[in-house]
Amino acid sequence: MILGAHTFGYVWHSTPEAACDAMAELGIRQVQLMATAPHFDPWSVDVPRTRRLRAALDRNGQTALALDLASSDMNLASPAPDVVGFARDAYARAIARAAELGLPWVCIGSGRRHGLLPNVNVQLMDPFRRVFADLHREADRQGVKLILENHPHGLLYTADQMASFLDAEGYDDVPIIYDVANAEFVGEDPVDGLARLKGKIGIVHLSDAPKGRWGHDPIGSGDIDFSRICAALVGQGYDDHVVLEILSDNPTAGLGDGVQRLRAMGFTF
């Protein structure tokens, strides 16, 4: 498998360039970029910033995989057109930033489902379906691809929901980020989810969490069984990207310790 790490843990600690340098010291050569202030503001063109980040990746021999927006700020499934319009514009800018940096993917979520009125979520699929198609066209125009993630508060929060949506809409070119901590939080066994998504996964996100709580904690600090996850990935011949998405007060230490723990549980990078 190909080892990578997410800059999400560095958002309040450092610049993207410093995060890349810290990851390189750990031997991490694949980077996923969180596009949110104060870390990386995606709203406007910044040529010097693009050059600095490209230079950091080049000197470290790193490749940037995907760019993310903060899911807490976006809702592509709102009943309010202005909210959807804001999110659509944000994703369009993210696509433009990804194109400037030469990233292959922009990570996209499935909006926000209504937790208190689940029956309305069928109706919320209509605005999401339309804006997803619009962003898919925009990404294609700029030479970037979308990659769909199982955000726990989205409309498509299980493996089957994501796979069924992509199949029904004909998005054969949209792979999936499968986040095991997100899956655990919504009550899905990640091993079952990985089996359902065989052949559709572009990135697997790894982080830990206590049972019943949503977290992206250091590996080994929670209740997720990474040995089972490793066996499932090996069993289906998965050899693509595994990205650590660790949030802690010391993100570099969390990543370094996480890599060692995963190796001890059978992961080979």
Dist. CA 190–CA 211, nearest whole Å: 13
Dist. CA 197–CA 105, nearest whole Å: 18
| Three-state secondary-structure class, residue 240 | coil
DSSP β-bridge partners for residue 147? 107
* Token representation of residue 86: 């804001």
* Token representation of residue 103: 């990233």
Q: What is the pLDDT of residue 116?
A: 86
pLDDT at 118 over 90: no
What pLDDT band is residue 8 in, cutting at 50, 70 and 90? Answer: very high
Model-wide pTM > 0.85: yes
What the chain holds in terms of domains, given with CATH numbers, is 2-264 (3.20.20.150)
